[in-house]
Amino acid sequence: MRIIVCMKQGLDPKTVKISRSREELDMREAVHKTRFADKVALETALRVRESSDAGEVIALVVGDEAADDTAREAIAIGADRAALVLAPPNLGGKGMAALIAAAAERLGGADLLIAGQPDEMDRIGSIAPRLATALDLPLLMDVVGFDAHSGGLSAVARGDGGGLRMPVALPAVAEIHPSAGRPRYPLPSRIATAWEPGLVETWTADELGVSEEVLAPDTEMGGLVLGAERQRGQTISGSPPDAARELVAQLRGRFRGQRLI
Amino acid sequence: MGMDLSDLQALMGGSFDEVTSESGGVWVVSPDGRVDDGLLRLVGKARVVADALGGYVTLLVAGEGAHGDAGGAIPAGADKIVTASGVPAAADLADFFRERSPQAVLLPRTPLGRAIAPALAQLLDGSLCDRAADLAVDPIYQRLIAHQPILDDAARMTLSLLNSPAIVAVDTDLLPSAFQEPWRQGETTSAEVAWGQPPAYEPVKLAQPGLTLHSAPVVVVAGWGLADEVGVAAARELAHALGGFLAGDESALDAGWVTEDEVVGLTGATIAPSLCIALGVDGDTNFMMGTVDALCVVSAQADAQAPIVPFADYNIIADPAQFARELVAALH
């Protein structure tokens, strides 16, 4: 079985600050690194390879030249090989799907194409549904694991209040839930060889036959809408029962939509 | 020199198609037929957007058996409700919308909505934002602008959706309350389409990931002000009620209430939960350095002059154990 894991770099949110005076993101110390969700997707692919005792895991990275590091990190973690597709920074979702589809074909096709969930700084959104549509393949969402057995492959996906086991008709596309498994660390022995020259195949959009028109972004980033500035040192007065009720009301308003309280 | 409609069209950069409720406009889709408060909030937001764009709001309710609740969408801002049976795949919706040329299609950000929205954008060659918290309209270009929360919703990134239709999956919990305007009028019609039913899958039990001090969204920190084991039991009960983790500061470690692995602070664990509730904690530098990345800090302790007071977002000056019990009661 051949599994292609779609990976890219994302902004490390800890390195991005908000400039309230300029109402924009302060990116002076921003760092791009391999997205955690993509490492979880790679981990899931490696587990399938190990459980079925056969097959190949290929990391397919889309990004700029710095994303070469992500391709090599994937090899160090356990991918059999990696490819990098060079893409413009303001790539649109349709362009991303087109590049992955073309690169997957160049790699000889795949039984399973998997991707991680988008992160909050991502403006392309979920790529797996686009990819499934572009390739006319079945889509599995929120997958937390695969079971390889004699009858084929089944997936377990996270649903409302539990999990669902579903048979997988290969080839297929899957989006991996972040809770699927903790990514493993790179192996020291593989780190030693992963950065050797010529190990990562690199293609441009042109080489893959994807036109500039397809790569055009479908969204344009504007300014920031800032929330209220954090106010520390507020005191809620009143008797303990009154203060408790007031605090619950304040926190429910503050964390609306997060189901925290 | 006279000016006719074609000149005006050329100046405005497009043709003046007659606006009807059957074409264009803003569509809200409930793919599984659920019409709950969240969906009505989304209808209200669609109303605001449609008023700015100059179009109609149509609610498409698919699914089985839930159509009876859809009438609430008219007072919430819909001009029309269209019903259909079955649960549509993205390709079904694409076929449906190709005939109707919507300006925007809004879906609730449910598991089904998250799967459909990107695929629909792909099929209709539209623009996509699949995690919007709010929507606005660019007054100059008449484009939809999605607000996407970033950095734990400390700010929202604005994304102008360049292509038409704009496909947006919206986190409805973050939208303002639904309109309730009983004077609004609308109609309900059937799309006369029957989509398929989703396959039934075998339910399985998933192991819940264990809660750790670093992964818990809520951390309750016990301090010396809790006085005794009874106070710590109240803190533990609060942590349980919030689905959080009970930790302690250095004084709680000295008292034997927590283990070394459960100590918060520079000499213990540095944490960044969404909510940190400090009970009976004075708030020395060690503690504050360990919790400075928490999104919200609540302190309950008896001393109004304690160092933690200017640091915490909310302070309750009271006996911390009693307050913990009252907070559990208030949560219920």
Task: Name the least confident of A224-238, A246-260, B18-32.
Answer: B18-32
Q: Do A120 and B155 touch (CB under 8 A)?
A: no
- Asked if residue A221 is part of any domain, the answer here is no
Whether residue A106 is found in the same domain as residue A156: yes
Assign A220 to helix, strand or coil.
strand
Mean pLDDT, range B155-175, rounded to an integer:
95
Nearest 5 degrees, angle CA A154-CA A158-CA A159?
A: 115
Q: Three-state SS across A79-138?
A: CCEEEEEECCCCCCHHHHHHHHHHHHHHCCCCCEEEEECCCCCCCCCCCHHHHHHHHCCC
Please determine, for residue B195, whether its predicted confidence score (pLDDT) is greater than 60. yes
Per the domain annotation, does A224 fall within a domain? no
The alpha-carbon gap from A130 to the nearest alpha carbon of chain B, in Å, equals 5
pLDDT digits 0-9 by tens, B258-298: 999 999 999 899 999 999 999 999 999 999 999 998 999 99
Across chain A, what does the average pLDDT equal?
93
pTM comes to 0.87
pLDDT given at position B14: 47
**Is A54 an 8 Å CB contact of chain B?**
no
Same-domain check for residues B123 and B169? yes
What Rg value do the Cα atoms of chain B yield, rounded?
26
Q: What is the CATH number of the domain that holds B229?
A: 3.40.50.1220
CATH number at residue B106: 3.40.50.620
| Contact between chains at A244 and B217 (C-beta distance less than 8 A) | no
Q: What is the pLDDT of residues B274-283, one digit of tens each?
A: 999 999 999 9
- Supply the range of the domain harboring residue B67: 23-194
Fill in the DSSP letter of residue B138: -
Quick one: pLDDT at residue B234? 96
Cβ–Cβ gap B130/A219 under 8 Å: no
- In whole angstroms, what is the distance from residue A175 CA to residue A101 CA? 15
Residue from the list B114, B156, B209 with its beta carbon closest to the beta carbon of A224:
B156
User: From CA B83, how far away is CA B99, in angstroms rounded?
Assistant: 16
Query: What pLDDT score was predicted for residue B9?
Result: 53
Are the beta carbons of B121 and A162 separated by less than 8 Å? no
Joined tokens for residue B84 = 């259909």
Instruction: Extract the tokens encoding A150.
Output: 């004699």
Shortest distance, CA B112 to any CA of chain A (angstroms):
9
Q: Are residues A209 and A236 in the same domain?
A: no
The minimum CA-CA distance between A208 and chain B, rounded to whole Å, is 19
Condensed to tens digits (0 to 9), the pLDDT of residues B43-101 reads 999 999 999 999 999 999 998 765 557 888 999 999 999 999 999 999 999 999 999 99
Q: Do A255 and B218 touch (CB under 8 A)?
A: no
Nearest-angstrom CA–CA distance, A98 and A104? 10
User: How many structural domains is chain A composed of?
Assistant: 2
Count CB-CB contacts under 10 A for residue A19. 14
Question: What is the per-residue pLDDT across A14-51, written as a single tens digit (0 to 9) for each?
Answer: 899 999 888 889 999 999 999 999 999 999 999 999 98
Are A134 and A12 contained in the same domain?
yes
User: For residues B28 and B92, is the Cβ–Cβ distance under 8 A?
Assistant: no
Which tops the pLDDT comparison, B69 or B204? B204
Domain assignment of residue A220, yes or no: no
For chain A, what percent of residues have pLDDT higher than 70?
99
d(CA A99, CA A83): 12
A27 touches chain B (CB under 8 A): no
Q: How far apart are CA A122 and CA A10, in angstroms?
A: 7
Does B99 share its domain with B241?
no
Residues A86 and A24 in one domain: yes
- Asked if B172 and B249 sit in the same domain, the reply is no
Same structural domain for residues B40 and B81?
yes
Note whether residue B58 is domain-resident: yes
Chains A and B form CB pairs within 8 A to the count of: 222
- Residue range(s) defining the domain that contains residue A153: 2-215
pLDDT score, position B7: 57
Asked if residues B302 and B320 have their Cβ atoms less than 8 Å apart, the reply is yes
